[in-house]
Structure formats: C-alpha cells, structure tokens
Amino acid sequence: MDNFDQLSTSEKAEATELQKMIAIEQQKAQFQAQVHNFTDVCWDKCVDSPGSKLDYRTETCLVNCVERFIDTTLSITNRFTQMVQKGAH
C-alpha cells in the first residue's frame, strides 16, 4: 500500500488482516486448481471408457491416485511451511 504509513493503528491492523485473508483465499484457489488438474490426470490414467458405473479396478485406481496426490501435496505444504518458519526467525 502506498499510504500504509499514514493509516492509524487500527486501520493498519485491518489492512494487514485483509491481506492475510486475501493470501488465504489465493492459496485455496491454487489448491483447488491443483485438485482439478490432478483430477484430470487421475481420470486420464484410470478411466478407459466411462460407463454408467465405475468398475472396482477403475474406482480403486482413482482412489489411490487421489490419495497419493493428497499425500504429496500435504508433504510439500508441510515442507514449505517449515522453510517459511525457519526464514521468519
């Protein structure tokens, strides 16, 4: 913000809180975009020809694919958080 120094303490707190909320919403949007992308990857990997029902093999493949994606995403997120926390100190 250009005029951040001219704001009152409460206005600065509100602006900072708003920035945090925006950052959180951006992270949510990025995560959702990753989920949609990975859904496409898992679909292409696991589904040969869509029918009215998923067979057991296809369902198992999709579940495993998504679970690995979630595990990987959590691992990367945790590692990134550790790096940020170390950098903040």
Contact 58, 46 (CB under 8 A): yes
Collapsing DSSP to helix, strand or coil, 49 comes out as coil
- Whether residue 76 has pLDDT greater than 50: yes
Is 82 part of any domain?
A: yes
Is 71 part of any domain?
A: yes
Is 73 part of any domain?
A: yes
Is 61 part of any domain?
A: yes
% the chain with pLDDT above 90: 17
- Whether residue 18 has pLDDT greater than 80: yes
Is 49 part of any domain?
A: yes
Secondary structure E strands in the chain: none
Whole-prediction pTM: 0.53
Is 3 part of any domain?
A: no
Give the per-residue pLDDT at 53: 87
> Domain limits at 68?
8-88
Number of domains in the chain: 1
Write the CATH number for 61. Answer: 1.10.287.810
Contact 46, 61 (CB under 8 A): yes
